[in-house]
Amino acid sequence: MQIQKRLYVIILKYIQINLTNQNSTIKIQKVKYLNMIHIFRRNQQALIYLNKQISKFSTTTKTISKDPVVFDYSEISNKNLDLSDRIKEAYGPQGVGLCLVKNVPNYTKLRRDLLPLAYQLATLPQNKLQKLIKPEYFHCVGWSHGVEQFNGKYDVSKGSFYGFPLDDRPVKDLTPQQKEQGGFIVENVWPKEDLPQLEGAFKSFGTLMISTGTLLAYHIDKYVNAVDSSYKIGTLENVIGKGNGHLARLLHYFPSNDAKTVSDDWCGWHNDHGALTGLASALYIDKDGKVLDNFFDVEGGLYAKNRFAEQQRLKIPQDYLAFQIGETAQILSGGIVEATPHCVVRGPKTIGTGISRNTYACFMQPNWDYVLTPPMKNKIQIKAAYGVPPLDKRWSEGLNFAQFGLNTLKAYS
């Protein structure tokens, strides 16, 4: 017991150094901290204690300036290349949980075809939007604005249009067990009369993200297997490449004249609970519907926090596609890749100017009945995340993705 207490004191000391030290030695301390996690990886009790202490010190946030890892499309398309070092840099214990991919075929055109439609959809008359609202599906398809709750508050800052990009009805039939658990069949809805071009643009962009994400997933699998040989090659690649239940979201962040009261007022801090999220570079549009090419608000946009409570602004160039790792991948890898908390900030250039932010996210995730099981050798360590509902309250061994997703939605409501 005395040895255990001394171990906890050592752990706590390193946490305090990592989260409060602002000088040049912090990098050295990080290396020691990571080595310590590796050494005590098998000590579940010590690691639980460690991660609880991380949460306590997470109020001290340091903003860092660092460019995300960038891959060329030709690199992720080549299965003979070893990209493990850069995969680790993006998604490993020191990473920010996101990478960029450039030179994706047809990406620029598909982005430009779709994102202006977010503005056009959001500005349709309310009686036309009403036809796209599906409360019977819990708003997981169609138009949604002001009905979703986040941390106990209704979200009115943005409007969303949800849909399945690969299959209008990915679940054809329910098993008896799914029916007992309250499962239901969901089907896409489209504004065929008012915005007929939306369906094709939405599906084409999502399909591109999924095919590109499948290529990237191969290299993530390769890296995780190199760390833990009990991890099966093809796990994440098959989840993305063979699944048909991936869900996409077209987003319109409404302009506002209101003064900021919290930093993350366009989208609060959260983790994605899927496997991998494709993110388009945002498109900004003025009050007259004019696209603002190369718009940049130095204080606004997407932010993420790494494992050391360092906050980083993630600028996605307009011709780059981003991929953010999710909690499903964290579980399946046993924590070798880690989801990171992120948010969207309304910067000063979008306050009182009538400028809206428009983007698209594709949540690549397992089919509903897929059981989330970590590798045998490397059972997942439940790690604390800043401002995010604890993973051990939402996931346990034996849960399928549908159950995990439902627990997650409840936790954020």
Q: How far apart are CA 365 and CA 348, in angstroms?
A: 34
Q: How far apart are CA 314 and CA 159, in angstroms?
A: 22
Q: Model confidence over 285-342: pLDDT tens digits?
A: 999 999 999 898 888 889 998 767 788 889 999 999 999 999 999 999 999 999 999 8
Distance from CA of residue 35 to its chain's centroid? 27
Q: Model confidence over 347-359: pLDDT tens digits?
A: 888 889 999 999 9
Higher pLDDT, 189 or 55: 189
Q: How far apart are CA 230 and CA 233, in angstroms?
A: 9
Q: Tell me how crowded residue 79 is: count the other CB atoms within 10 A of its CB.
A: 9
At 382 the pLDDT is 60
Q: How far apart are CA 266 and CA 100, in angstroms?
A: 22
Burial (CB count within 10 angstroms: exposed 0-12, middle 13-18, buried 19+), residue 234: middle
Amino acid at site 18: N
pTM for this prediction: 0.83
Higher pLDDT, 275 or 392: 275
Q: Model confidence over 212-223: pLDDT tens digits?
A: 999 999 999 999
Higher pLDDT, 131 or 14: 131
List the structure tokens of 359.
């983007």
Q: Tell me how crowded residue 146 is: count the other CB atoms within 10 A of its CB.
A: 11
At 46 the pLDDT is 55
Q: How do 283-285 and 291-292 pair as beta strands?
A: antiparallel
Q: How far apart are CA 251 and CA 293, in angstroms?
A: 18
Assess whether pLDDT exceeds 60 at residue 53.
no
Categorize the per-residue pLDDT at 242 as very low, low, confident or very high, splitting at 50, 70 and 90.
Answer: very high
14 closest CA partner among 42, 33, 39, 37 = 33
Beta partners for residue 158, in sequence order: 253
Is residue 186 within 8 Å of 171, Cβ to Cβ?
Answer: yes
Categorize the per-residue pLDDT at 182 as very low, low, confident or very high, splitting at 50, 70 and 90.
Answer: low
185 closest CA partner among 198, 206, 171, 195 = 171
Amino acid at site 3: I
Assess whether pLDDT exceeds 50 at residue 105.
yes
Instruction: Tell me if residue 178 falls in helix, strand or coil.
Output: helix
What is the set of domains in the chain, with CATH numbers? Answer: 1-60 (no CATH), 62-412 (2.60.120.330)
Residues 6 or more apart from 211 whose CB is under 8 A from it? none
345 closest CA partner among 290, 298, 287 = 298
